[in-house]
Structure 1
Amino acid sequence: MNVHGACNHSDGQKPFSIGVIGGGIAGSTIALRLAERGIQVELFEAGKSLVNGPPICHLHAGGNLYREISDEQCKTLLKQSIDTLRVFPQTANIRPTVVAVPERDKGEPSSLIDRLNLLQKTYANLVNNDPLNQVLGSPEEYFKLYYREELEELANKPVPNSPASLDDWMIPLAKNLNLSQFKFPFILVQEYGLSVFRLAATANLAAEKLPTCSLNMNARVIDVEQDSQDNSWQITYQQYDSDINDHITHSTHVDYLVNACGFQTGKIDDMAKLPRKRMIEFKAAYITHWAECEGIWPEVIFHGERGTPDGMAQLTPYPEGYFQLHGMTEDITLFRKGLVASTTDSAQPQLGESFTKKIQFGWKSCDVHTRSERAIKHMAKLLPAYKSATVGGTPLFGAQQIPGEDPSLRAADISFAGNRYARSEIVKASSALNAANQVLIKLYDDGLLAEKPTEIHPEQQMPVTSGFTQEVVVSMAEALTVQRNYPSALARPVKY
């Protein structure tokens, strides 16, 4: 939904302020969306920069990674992903994704075709309604099927330096796989990568540029309390002051509160005395380097049963031979006791101590190497040449919240409770813009916005955020990789 809200002080209406707690992709997008409409926003983030957290790497334009989710969730993710690319145009790694089903897997690739046809039709309709929605290539080429004979022919062709066709993307894969291990067809689909570092860069740049967005960095919220008379909120937070080598406690008042604390959303819910059922799941993805890599690769998804030793394997390419790996087993991306739920006593699910230590203090070197090497071995089962890859850096990791009690939920955005209180509950980054628009609508319904939000193009919703050049975004993203101790290649676009 693309909506435009009038500036909050139009028609003589008294200005109001919004407090957004949490500067992840959800909190940053909500804050920027409202600030671009002239609403005064106070954004509180406990870290040094915006958009940290779970290992975002994939746009999820159609949810093709997930066999278990509904067609409706897939269509929702497709639409939300298109809007996301229109607002954050410099964040996509533009290359297709290949879905392959190993012989060992119980599933059949043919079972995915009806959904792909539905998504292709949905994409074509979106482009017909607005040509600017064509951000995933031509709808006619949204996906293509490859059978064994075609792949055997492609395996005999030289690897192109720069892929110029869908077939070119398949050549490195055809040359490196033992095709007898797989079912057919393979599916190539226009699912793009999403750079967490360029998302972070865009958010930081926009927040600094917008005069209506007040940034409170290194700010840990320790209490929220609502005034029973006017429903405003007092936010109490602590910030480190280097001059005195101690934390100083501050407080501020806002007219509306948005809880966008990610996996810690339940802590603010508890402070606000607004219960909620949710789960959180700790996950990690592993940075590896494949020096022998030839050519520019697509992303590759090898389907598998989640949580088993043969769980899905995901190969996400970056420049200079770097690849991010997921292995959906408890020894790699998933963790034993890494999925926990809230209780009747608290809206905040409690992760075990080993997870909280990783989040607070980082990983031990031995854990980095052990799990990264497991990820490499897991990938090498299906892509044998990958056994020569090495550990390439610290894992990307974090805890992902899932509202409700369905761990397969992927398309979720926001919920409202009490008076003047919203909680962002996105599962995928592409849902953040829709969450922001829902807040805008709620502000009108609650009488804070003077004019009803109307349909508007995503770029017009957020002209500052969408207006940065690729050069500026990449430069900032590279600085963030240095600050966060990751290879700078992860900040750069996949070029072809």
Structure 2
Amino acid sequence: MNKSSVTVQPLRNTQTKIAIIGGGVAGSTIALRFAELGLDTTLIEKGPSLVNGPPICHLHAGGNLYREISDEQCLTLLQQSIETVKVYPQSVNVRPTVIALPKTDHGQPEDLLPRLEKLRKRYSELVSADISNKVLGEPEDYFRFYSRAEVDALVNKSIPSKATQASDWLISFANFTDLNKLKFPVLLVQEYGLSAFRFAAIASLAIERLPSCHLQTHSQVTAITADEDNLGWQVSTKLQGNDNIQQQQFDYVINACGFKSGEIDDMVSAKRQRMVEFKAAYVAHWPQCQGLWPEIVFYGERGTPQGMAQLTPYPDGYFQLHGMTQDITLFDQGLVASSLQSAQPKLAQRFIEKIDKKWPEQLIHNRTLGSIEHMAQFIPQFSSAIVAAKPLFGAQQIPGDDPELRAADVSFHGKHYARAEIVKASSALAAADAILANLSECGLITDPAIEGYLTEHYFPVSQQCSDIEVTERAILLAKQRDYPDALAKNL
């Protein structure tokens, strides 16, 4: 489809030119939000394609993977996730998550109940206010606990290929997990998966069709200088492999550079306290498994050998693995903070080399096998899984000084400069909304229609992407990045 063949109802009375630096989840979402409204938007991405970076796999519709974060953050993540499902339904893997507490864990399953009740109540309120918010199933079914007797009753049952009732999702868990290592009851919660490759496919397809969005890949920002009146910006860029500098004028700049946001802040002398954490997830193939699998999370204390183990299913026996230990997902000295001299935290060179170049084969082998072994302590037969690909990895920014922060979206500096500072992908829409409101407050959008668009997500072009074309583009992106096709397919 050509860009000219799509009709978008543009906002009027604006000639504003907007630059978004960084084409990750945040930058791509903001670009789509603005371009769908007809705003002149230039998306500048250093790499060859959109949505690279930290290993996305989970929607976080309630933040239940994180016992340590506040109830307020969990409620925020719930609402943001609902909006994400509505805007990008083709990127969501619809399946619940099983959460279990090992007997070695310090907590009790009942400790989770007060927060879950708050989340279910809030979800019910959102559905009552707008039926389109019912994207996580019926509110009364948002979560359910299962006793040992109920799980035992599922052992030796055939694992189905489709679920006709909630307990069907527990059959594979019941058959393969060493139940004697767990506290009961176990939790089944409507926390869905989120596919990075399908998200990237939707963003790429839609941007290609939106005349207001100008994508510049292989393009690195080398400098940003303010205009004489300090109300606009001159952005200097160069193409990869080319020393020629191109200068472009913009009225508003959005820093969506993820873990490198501090580099752009330094260019405009914007002080900012933030942290950066390097993380990795691993890809394993376990072809012996068949049928329906939920995501499975075994709680544990972060950073210890008993850290959380997370199993994320994909088609054809492929799994993504997180283990919140220093030998698997976390890394020694992988969490760093900014300084008084620079807004950019300085990761050790060994992490930069992993991001910019490639992982040593032996390290891939050792860490993936370590993640398999970590999971096999609870699912013994998983020990036969094999290394399937290089890790999914990246560095994650965390604004401020709280390493446990998970719900964050945007901050502003001076006039006409914003930072998208999401920690979880589901916060990207909230960042886009906040910046859109700021554009209106600054007088850069004067069309009275903006009031309606500030409360309504307008994504007609993005949402008309078909499942078939999203899958085809996602598979292409997976192949280009040397990952199995299965990671690009829906369950």
For normalisation by structure 1, the TM-score amounts to 0.95
Partner of 1:280: helix, strand, or coil?
A: strand
**Which residue number in structure 2 is paired with residue 90 of structure 1?**
90
The offset of 1:454, in angstroms, is 2.8
Q: In the alignment, does 2:479 pair up with 1:472? A: no
Instruction: Judge conservation of contact 1:6–1:450 (CA < 8 Å) in 2.
Output: no
Write the letter of the residue equivalent to 1:266.
G
Deviations 1:151-200 (A, max 9, x none): 11111322223222111110111111222211111000000000000000
- One-letter code aligned to 1:287: V
CA deviations on 1:286-334 (whole Å, 9 max, x unpaired) are 0000011132110000000000000000000000000000000010000
Partner of 1:232: 232
Aligned to 1:329: 325
Letter in 2 for 1:145: F
1:318 to 289, 314, 317: 314
* 1:89 partner letter: P
The answer to whether the 8 Å contact 2:22/2:255 transfers is yes
Partner of 1:325, secondary structure, is strand
Aligned mates of 2:244, 2:126 — CA distance in 1: 50
Q: CA deviation at 1:16?
A: 1.1
CA contact (8 A) 2:220 2:240 kept: no
Is 1:73 paired with 2:69? no
Equivalences for residues 251-290 of structure 1 within 5 A: 251-290=247-286
Share of identical aligned residues, percent?
53
Q: Give 1:20's aligned amino acid.
A: I
Distance in 2, matches of 1:282 and 1:422, equals: 24
Point out the more displaced range, 473-482 or 223-232. Answer: 223-232
Partner of 1:143: 143
For these two proteins, the number of residue pairs brought into alignment is 483
How far did residue 41 of structure 1 move? 0.5
Amino acid across the alignment from 2:397: Q
Is residue 110 from structure 1 mapped to residue 107 from structure 2 by the alignment? Answer: no
Partner of 2:162: 162
Q: Encode CA deviations 1:256-304: one digit per residue, 9 max, x unaligned.
A: 0000000000000000001100000000000000011132110000000
User: 1:81 aligns to what SS in structure 2?
Assistant: helix
Cα distance in structure 1, aligned partners of 2:230 and 2:275:
32
Q: 1:351 aligns with which of 343, 347, 350?
A: 347
Provide the C-alpha distance between the structure 2 equivalents of 1:112 and 1:16, rounded to a whole number of angstroms. 48
Q: Which residue of structure 1 aligns with residue 439 of structure 2?
A: 443
Once the two structures are superposed, residues 432-485 of structure 1 have per-residue CA deviations (whole angstroms, 9 ceiling, x without a partner) of 001001011000110111145335598851111122111111110000011100
Distance in 1 separating the partners of 2:306 and 2:457: 45
Identify the match of residue 356 of structure 2 among 356, 360, 366: 360
The alignment partner of 1:214 has SS state of: strand
Matched, 1:122 2:122: yes
Aligned 8 A contact 1:87 1:459 in 2: no
Alpha-carbon distance in 2 for matches of 1:295, 1:260: 39
Distance 2:306 2:456 in 1: 42
Unaligned runs of 5+ in 1: none
Give yes or no for contact 1:21–1:261 (8 Å, CA) kept in 2: yes
> 1:6–1:451: 8 Å Cα contact kept in structure 2?
no
Which residue identity does 1:469 align to in structure 2?
S
CA contact (8 A) 2:433 2:454 kept: no
Task: Please state how far the C-alpha of 1:91 moved relative to its aligned partner.
Answer: 0.4
Residues 95 and 240 from structure 1, CA distance in 2 versus in 1: closer, same or farther, beyond 3 angstroms? same
Cα distance in 2 for partners of 1:366, 1:270 equals 36
d(CA) in 2 for partners of 1:14 and 1:47?
Answer: 30
Inter-CA distance 456–145: structure 2 relative to 1 (3 Å threshold):
farther
Structure 2 counterpart of 1:254, one-letter code: F
Separation in 2, partners of 1:309, 1:460: 43
Aligned pairs (5 A) from 1:389-428: 389-428=385-424
Report the CA distance shift for 1:457/1:192 in structure 2 as closer, same or farther (over 3 A).
Answer: farther
Letter in 1 for 2:354: K
* 1:17 matched residue in structure 2: 17
Letter in 2 for 1:221: V
User: Would you say the 8 A contact 1:240–1:248 is kept in 2?
Assistant: no
- What's the secondary structure of 2:89's corresponding residue? coil
- Alignment RMSD (CA, Å): 1.4
Deviation per CA, 1:104-158, whole angstroms, max 9, x where unpaired?
A: 0101111101111111111111111111111111112111110101111111322
Are residue 484 (structure 1) and residue 481 (structure 2) matched? yes
Give the 3 Å change call, closer, same or farther, for CA 334–104 of structure 1 in structure 2.
same
Q: Distance in 2 between matches of 1:250 and 1:261?
A: 19
Task: Report if aligned partners of 2:200, 2:474 keep a CA contact under 8 Å in 1.
Answer: yes
Deviation at 1:248, TM superposition (A): 2.7
Structure 1 distance, partners of 2:32, 2:161, is 39
The one-character-per-residue Cα deviations of 1:347-397 (angstroms, maximum 9, x if unpaired) are: 000000100000000211111111000000000011111100000111100
Higher mean displacement: 140-149 or 316-325: 140-149
Partners of 2:244 and 2:90 lie apart in 1 by 37
Distance 1:309 1:42 in 2: 45
Contact 2:16 / 2:445 at 8 angstroms: preserved in 1? no
Equivalent residue number for residue 212 of structure 1: 212
Question: Which runs of structure 2 are paired with 1:55-66 in the superposition (5 Å)?
Answer: 55-66=55-66
Distance 1:382 1:457, change over 3 A: farther
The 2-side partners of 1:159 and 1:175 are apart by: 9
Q: Letter of the aligned partner of 2:108 in structure 1?
A: E
Is 1:493 matched up with 2:487?
A: no
Matches within 5 A, 1:368-407: 368-407=364-403
Question: Are 1:45 and 2:41 an aligned pair?
Answer: no
Pick closer, same or farther for the CA change 1:301–1:455 going to 2, 3 Å: farther
- Equivalent positions of 1:166-205 (< 5 A) are 166-205=166-205
- CA distance in 2 between partners of 1:418 and 1:6 (Å): 31
1:302 alignment partner AA: F
8 Å CA contact 2:14, 2:445 repeated in 1: no
For 1:454, what is the secondary structure of its paired residue?
helix
